[in-house]
Structure 1
Amino acid sequence: MRLRSDIWVAAYLRRVAVEGAAAALRRRGAAEAGAIWIKVDRLDGRAALYGPAPQSESGERGIERLWLRAHSEEWVAPEETERRVAREVAFDPDLWLVEVEDRDGRCWLDLAEPLAPSARRT
């Protein structure tokens, strides 16, 4: 059984705050099962957007939620992430969006793909 989206987001916001970064809920989605997207802004003109990986990948690894970067580059312009979010909202109006501001680019997510050491979960 998967944790409800509203509970997961509340815990994630707390985790980010405990780690000394800022996070804000920009869009509230469906409480029970809305897809969650995370934007990480490094505050230097670089950002990353993470979306849910297929549930089949999460189950294979025994992880509650697994994430994929929504672009091929490690970091992109914040405007590019905003365009992608707008497309996702048009497709799924029940999604959640959390924005993290962290100069180190930390995301605190279990990623389905390898990243450079500076972007990995710490």
Structure 2
Amino acid sequence: MSRLTARFWIDAYLARLQGQNIPAFIVAHGDDDAGSVLVKLNRLDGQATVFQRSYNLMEDRRNWAILEQGSEADVDESITRQRNYDPDIWVIEVEDRQGRHMLDQPGLE
């Protein structure tokens, strides 16, 4: 099975969010083909969560998992550490007071 490029997935994700009137934007542009993706959910109340893709051996599939959760400053620090380690990482910021990120929707896993 072939994998989607990072850029293709991000474009589709941003379009899906836009369709639900959920603001989102690219904070850091990673490698178009194989860059990893971090999704930061900013709840606009000083709290945030950053998600990363992880591989679940038991289910033999990739899932979105929480990398860091807490104050926005702590989450931003975690993202900075990840980007220092791997500059090809994409960072997408989603802003939603209700906490919607749509990563649990079919087709986005």
Structure 1 counterpart of 2:83, from 68, 84, 89: 89
- The 2-side partners of 1:31 and 1:18 are apart by 23
How far off its partner does 1:110 sit? 3.4
Partner of 2:66: 69
Greater share of residues in strand:
2
Structure 2 unaligned segments of length 5 or more: list them.
none
Give the letter for the 1:104 counterpart: Q
- The 2-side partners of 1:59 and 1:10 are apart by 27
Question: Is the Cα contact below 8 Å between 1:47 and 1:78 reproduced in 2?
Answer: yes
Cα gap change, 1:59 to 1:30, in 2 (>3 Å): farther
Partner of 1:6: 7
SS of residue in 2 equivalent to 1:81: helix
Post-superposition CA distance 1:71-97 (Å, at most 9, x none):
3xxx41110110001100011000000
Greater share of residues in helix:
1
> What does 1:51-62 correspond to in 2, within 5 Å?
51-54=52-55, 56-57=56-57, 60-61=60-61
Query: Which 4+ stretches in 1 moved above 3 angstroms?
Result: 56-59
Paired residues, number: 104
Structure 1 unaligned segments of length 5 or more: list them.
112-122
How far off its partner does 1:58 sit? 9.2
Cα gap change, 1:36 to 1:78, in 2 (>3 Å): same
Root-mean-square deviation over aligned CA pairs = 1.9
Partner of 1:116: none
TM-score (norm. length: structure 1): 0.78
Aligned-residue identity in percent: 33
- Does residue 109 of the first structure (1) align with residue 74 of the second (2)? no
- Does residue 21 of the first structure (1) align with residue 37 of the second (2)? no
